[in-house]
Structures are given as structure tokens and as C-alpha cells.
Structure 1
Amino acid sequence: MTIHTHLASSPRLADILSPDRNSFGVLRFAMATLVLVSHSYLYAAGTSVAEPLQPWLGRSLGECAVRVFFILSGVMVAQSFDRSRSLVDFTVARGLRIFPALIVCVLAVAFVLGPVVSTLPAGAYFKSTELYGYVVKTLTLATGSAPLPGVFETNAYADYVNSSLWTLKYEVACYVALGLLGVAGLFDEKLRWFAAAGLGAIVATVSLSLPANPDDYGFTQNLRYFVVYFYGGVLAYLLRDYLRISGALLLPLFLMFIASVQTSFAEVGAMLFLGYGALWAATKTWGPLRGLCNRTDASFGIYIFAGPVQQALLWLFPAISPVVLTLVAFAIVLPLAIASWRFVEKPSLQLRPVVTNWIRTAGRRALPIFG
């Protein structure tokens, strides 16, 4: 059977966008878990170079997982805006998805875990301006690497409290740009091909002049890096009616990915292979996992709670191996993530229409004042 025949009989992306037709939730859960695995090596050794697969992948397993996160986010968030076509509704939805759980995590780490593991006495800890700086900087997404006073100073990856959070500001930046593009007509059916062509050009070229060493990236370089993956997902959504998903294309895309390593097109090659591979994996049911992950989305909770738990375990047991650290941390983090979904994230998302209506009502009342 030829590749053309495989493609003709394969589902389109548009056919699997309903949650009961895809396994995006399973993939997000898997990617969050891979970040936890990757960070076990980072935290235990103090460097990501310790990760066994890094020399072969070119980047850490966690970085590859985050790439897939951004691709899937691009698809799902584009669909979210396209359905509502409302900047207010879109903004509220994005805010409620990220900030309630983030606030709980940051406050719990700063005011519950922090004083227990800090080298400072409790009185000095709570008087430290660094404590409140951590809360403000982390919740405003100014940085994901703000330290807490006396916390994890003796760990191998010293002073880092929750290194996963550094990506959130880039995701929010991608959201903001997508909202503006959506208002400008990105999802207008009449402009679909112009929008796809323009977005395709951006995705193909935005990373061409990035420094070879990611350690040299600043905010702008990191943003360009993440734009490739997030807007690669948005581009896939724009082309959803034409994008066929077949395993027959995985090998050619993998070969392109390998050939692009160490070239200017490395990020584009990685985006195409990882993105298409993720969409292909999303067509599989994965047994009962699809239903479980659709009912309980623990992925974000795993992502934001894992770091402090892993660092605390290393504070208690400095000689623990990365494998044991992974297993013990996952056993602790998974219940936390499930509780975060059930008691924080899901109830917050259910407030979406209430918050949206309140903002619209407040806006209407304010118009006569400014008019």
C-alpha cells in the first residue's frame, strides 16, 4: 500500500478534535511525567548533561516533552479561540486554566514547604523580603527561578525551587499574540490560506538565527524558540481539514528531523516530527487512559508540583538515585495533581461563564463614563 493510499484512508486532524476522539489528555499526562523524569537527573546531578538520552536527542527529555506541550497547546488553544471568537472569553479561559493552580502551588511552596526546609529560623524566613519577592516574581511570571531564603541551598541544583515554571511566561506570551491575531482575523474562513501561508513563513524562519547553544538564549531567543512549536500547532489547526494523520509519514519526518540536527532548521525539523508524531499518537485510544485523562487532567498539576517535591526529597536524601527519585516523587506528586484538578483547576474552569459575564457587564457599565 502506498503512502498516498495510507493518507487517503487516514483521519484528518478535524476528525479528532473532539475530546472523545483524541488522546491529547494522555499525551499531556505523559509529557508532564517525562519532564518529572528528566528533572530527576537535573536536580540530582545539578546539570541536565547527566540525563542518559541527552547526547542522542540533542536536548533533554524534558525539553522534548515541553516542545510537544507547546505544539498540543497551539492546537487546543487555537480551537478554543476559534469556537468563541471572543477575546474576553479567550482571556478568561486562559487565565483560569493557569493561575488558580499556580497560585495554590506558589503559596504552598513559599509558606508551607519553604519554612520547613529553609536553613533560616522561621522568624527570619518570614521576615525576609526574598520570600515575598519569590511570590510576586513567580506569580507575575517574571521568572521561574526566583529563590526562597535558605531553601535548597545545599542541593546539587542549588537555590532552584521550581525550575519548570520558567516556560509559563512564554506560553502566556504566545496566548496574548494568538488573541490579537484572532481579533485581526486569523480564523476568518475567507483568509484561511493567507493566514496559513503567513504563519507558515513565520514558523519556518523565526528560529533560523538562534544561537547554537541554548544557554545563550535570552527572553527574545526563547520566545522565538517556543513560537516554532506553539504556532506550529496553530498552523496545524488552521489546516485541520486537509491535514491527514498517518503513521506512514513518521519515518520520512524522522529522517528529516535527524538530517536537520545541527543545522539552522533544527527546530523546524523537530517541530514537524514531534508535532506530527504527537497527533498520530493522539489518534490511539491507549486503553482506559483516554477516559481517565479526560475526566481528570493531572498534567498541569504534575508539571507545577513536581519540582519542589523532587528538591525536597533530595534535601532529605541527598544520595537518592535519579530512578528512585522519579518513582518516589511521582507517587507523591500524582495525588497532589489529582487533588489540584478536582479542587482547584476544574472548579475554576467552571467559573468561566460567570467571570466572562461579569467582565462584560462591568465593561458595559464603564462605557458611559468614558463615552
Structure 2
Amino acid sequence: MAKISNNFDILRLILAILVFFAHWNILTSQDISNPLFNLSGYAVHMFFIVSGFLIFWSFDADQNKKHFYIKRFFRIFPLYAFLIILQTLFFIGFSDGSTFEVIKYFIANIFFLNFLAPSVGSTLSSLEVNAINGSLWTLKNEVVFYLIVPLLFMFYKKWGGYILLILYSLSVVYMFAVDYLGIEKLLVQFPAQVRLFMVGILLYILFDKFNKNNIYLLAIVSLILLIVLKDNTYFNYILYPFCIGFMMIFLVYFVKNIKVNFDFSYSFYILHFPVIQLALYFEINPTNPIISFVVLFAVILVLSYFSEKYIEKRFIKIGREIVKKDRSE
């Protein structure tokens, strides 16, 4: 039933745009209090849940591990590597750091270890955030999840959904432990995201249980809880992922289908941060907030469109052709 028409493409684009709203607000020091400019956390968390749903679905459809990893590699890595190369070239040309620091930046980032080298030297230290691309931290979480999906699928087939609930619970325990120890940075590292991915997988597995009546009720209750308990730690660690997940199912399957012929949400997501940072670094960001927002959004939108057309689609096609050839042999 999950194969019926859905709004995943448009939802992912909207989530990427919401992240842009928040990052533009922070990076350009606008300090706009409007909720629309402060929803990046919810957007990223829903991204993870969407990934759990779609990637588990993808592996369920073709349980050949080799094919799965080939398709994931060509979906994610080519554009990512291209962007890391461009960012490295920027530091080669404009950084005050040493050659070693530039090399460290490239090696750390090409292997998704962005936290080891978010920038080079003091190149961007005058900006609000000293990182060329603060959005990339989510990708290492995605990559780790991709790597373990076949294992999760095997666990699920052997022990059922209980194993997923156990992994969810362990992720929640991790959150409380890290919070208790006061190590805030670890709250965004992979074990914390496990509970979000698990919700996505559970929603895929239980999808046939949902109907118009119960999902409407779950979505309304979830929205109320998200508003009323948004500052409650116990809620945020334990029940929050399910609330975000129910909202996702509602938006994707139970509202009017919006058909789009493009999917450049990935390009938009990983390109928007460096575009804003470079505009600020070279002092070409318009001083008028409205003009700044419109111009940067338009530039990123155009770059994302061409990125998807000439990089993403071409490498996705290569990945599919490799899989197709392997199947025929």
C-alpha cells in the first residue's frame, strides 16, 4: 500500500526550504522570531524519519545488499564529493590556514567527518558560524544508517518489530545519559538519531494499519503535544519522534497529492549553507533583509535545479545501469 501516490518529493523540498529559512535567519543575524524561521530542528528530524521509511522500503523492494549500496552510493556521494572539492578549492584560494589544515579539511569531510574540520584556520571566524557548510553533519548520520539497514532488516525478519522498539529504547537511554552528563554535542551524534530512523521504519512496517480516521486523530493529537510539550525533556526524548512521524504520514499520504517532476531537495539542502556563507564572506549579501532573502533563495534554487539535472540524475542513472547490468549477468 505504501506504493500509492504520495507527497514525499514535495515534502522533502519543503523541509529543505525550512532549513534554509532558519539558517538564513541565523547566519545573516536577522534574529527573526517568526516560527517559520525557526523550524529547522523539526525539519531535520522529519528528514531522518522520512529516510527511515524510504530506505527500509527500498531495501525491502530489493534485498540484494550489493545493489542497495551501489544505488545509495550514486545517490548521495557524487554530489557530496563535488561540493567538498569546491569547498576545499575555496580554502586553497582564500584560507589563512596551512596546507596541512587544508588537507585535513578535505580528508575529514570527504569521509563525512565534518565535525573534525568544519573550516580552515580563521577564514570564516568573523562570521556568525565558523563553518563553510554546517548542514553536512546530518549526512554522516544518514550514511551510518545506510550501512546498517541490511542488518536491521535481518533483525526485523528474525525477531519482528520488537527489535526495532528495543533499538529505539536504547537510543532514548543514550539521550538521557548524554543529557545527564552534560555533553550537549553528543545529542546530535548518530545514536541519538537511531530513534528517528526506527520510527520511520516502524511507520513503513505498520503502514497498512493507518486509515483516514485514525491518522487524522493521531496527527491532531501529535500537533497538540508538539505545541504544549515542546520544552519537556521526557516528551522530546521519548514520544516526540512518533509525533513527528504521524505528522509525516498525514502530510505524505492523507492530504491532496501534489505531483512534481523534480526532486532537488538534496541539492538544495547541501548547497544553501555555503552559498549564504560565501555571500557573507565576500560581502555581497544585500543589506536589505527582504532582498537578501529573495536573492539568496533564488540563487540556491537555480543552483539546485541544475545540480539535480546535471549531477544527481546522471549519477543516479549510472548507479541504476550498474545494478541492471549486474542483474543480467
Task: Report if the CA contact (8 A) 1:130-1:148 is conserved.
Answer: yes
Instruction: Provide the residue aligned with 2:54 in structure 1.
Output: 76
Instruction: Provide the residue aligned with 1:203 in structure 2.
Output: 168
Check if 1:225 corresponds to 2:192.
Answer: yes
> How well do the aligned residues superpose, as a CA RMSD in angstroms?
3.1
Q: Does the C-alpha gap of structure 1 residues 334 and 286 become closer, same or farther in structure 2, counting only changes over 3 Å?
A: farther
Amino acid at match of 2:127: N
Q: Does the C-alpha gap of structure 1 residues 33 and 199 become closer, same or farther in structure 2, counting only changes over 3 Å?
A: same
Q: Does the C-alpha gap of structure 1 residues 51 and 93 become closer, same or farther in structure 2, counting only changes over 3 Å?
A: farther
Task: Report if the CA contact (8 A) 1:70-1:230 is conserved.
Answer: yes
Instruction: Provide the residue aligned with 1:331 in structure 2.
Output: 298
Instruction: Provide the residue aligned with 1:250 in structure 2.
Output: 219
Q: Distance in 1 between matches of 2:141 and 2:122?
A: 28
Amino acid at match of 2:18: L
Deviations 1:260-307 (A, max 9, x none): 7423231332212221112111126667xx332xx2211000111111
Tell me, which stretches of 5 or more residues in structure 1 are unaligned? 1-13, 365-371
Check if 1:269 corresponds to 2:239.
Answer: yes
Task: Report if the CA contact (8 A) 1:41-1:322 is conserved.
Answer: no
Task: Report if the CA contact (8 A) 1:31-1:66 is conserved.
Answer: yes
| Per-residue deviation, 1:105 | 1.2
- Give 3-state SS (helix, strand or coil) of 1:148's partner: coil
Deviations 1:197-221 (A, max 9, x none): 2212332452142444998235586
Q: Distance in 1 between matches of 2:272 and 2:327?
A: 37
Q: Distance in 2 between matches of 1:86 and 1:232?
A: 23
Instruction: Provide the residue aligned with 1:281 in structure 2.
Output: 251
| Per-residue deviation, 1:164 | 0.2
Check if 1:306 corresponds to 2:272.
Answer: yes
Q: Does the C-alpha gap of structure 1 residues 91 and 34 become closer, same or farther in structure 2, counting only changes over 3 Å?
A: same
| Per-residue deviation, 1:25 | 0.5
Q: Distance in 1 between matches of 2:137 and 2:242?
A: 24
211-220 vs 146-155, which moves further: 211-220
* TM-score calculated relative to the size of structure 2: 0.85
| Per-residue deviation, 1:163 | 0.2
Tell me, which stretches of 5 or more residues in structure 2 are unaligned? none
Q: Distance in 2 between matches of 1:143 and 1:200?
A: 30
- Give 3-state SS (helix, strand or coil) of 1:355's partner: helix
Task: Report if the CA contact (8 A) 1:236-1:243 is conserved.
Answer: no
* TM-score calculated relative to the size of structure 1: 0.76
Instruction: Provide the residue aligned with 1:154 in structure 2.
Output: 126
1:47-86 superposed matches below 5 A: 50=31, 52=33, 60-86=38-64
Q: Distance in 2 between matches of 1:67 and 1:53?
A: 20
- Give 3-state SS (helix, strand or coil) of 1:297's partner: coil
Of structures 1 and 2, the larger Rg is shown by 1
Deviations 1:62-116 (A, max 9, x none): 12110010011111001000000111111111111110110111112222x4456
Instruction: Provide the residue aligned with 2:307 in structure 1.
Output: 340
Instruction: Provide the residue aligned with 1:33 in structure 2.
Output: 17
Number of residues of Structure 1 aligned to a counterpart in Structure 2? 322
Q: Distance in 2 between matches of 1:195 and 1:360?
A: 29
Residue 143 of structure 2 is aligned with which of 172, 176, 198? Answer: 172
Amino acid at match of 2:21: V
